[in-house]
């Protein structure tokens, strides 16, 4: 049974934004979250958890990108979250350097 056309995205820019936000943006958010977490707790355990929980988080973020109405807003949200995690990574490297 095919999808109802009124629920499909007709704009190719929105389709491109949703696909790239789902794949690349979701990956950036998931990876930056676990790297930020690794500077504040035991980094070996967190990076091993990234292998499994990171995939689940990435898949959730990918589905979220396709459920949203505007793909560019999802991109903005993902870049903002990645920036916050990057600041946490910077602070983690400053106050808890890995030796």
Cα separation, 32 vs 90, in Å, equals 11
Residue entry with tokens 């696909």 = 19
Structure confidence by residue, pLDDT tens digits, 36-59: 988 888 878 888 888 889 999 999
pTM over 0.95: no
Residue entry with tokens 């934004």 = 17
Q: Cβ(34)–Cβ(54) under 8 Å?
A: yes
How would you class 68 by CB atoms within 10 Å of its CB: exposed for 0-12, middle for 13-18, buried for 19 or more?
middle
Structure confidence by residue, pLDDT tens digits, 5-23: 777 767 889 999 999 999 9
**pLDDT: which is higher, 43 or 69:** 69
Mean pLDDT, range 57-80, rounded to an integer: 94
Cα separation, 3 vs 9, in Å, equals 11
């Amino acid at each position: 049974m095919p999808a109802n056309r009124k629920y499909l995205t007709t704009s190719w820019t929105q389709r491109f934004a949703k696909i790239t936000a789902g794949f690349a943006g979701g990956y950036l958010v998931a990876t930056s979250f676990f790297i930020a977490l690794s500077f504040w707790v035991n980094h070996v355990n967190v990076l091993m958890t990234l292998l499994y929980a990171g995939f689940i988080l990435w898949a959730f973020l990918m589905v979220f990108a396709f459920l949203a109405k505007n793909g560019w807003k999802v991109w903005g949200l993902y870049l903002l979250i990645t920036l916050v995690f990057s600041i946490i990574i910077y602070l983690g490297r400053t106050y808890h350097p890995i030796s």
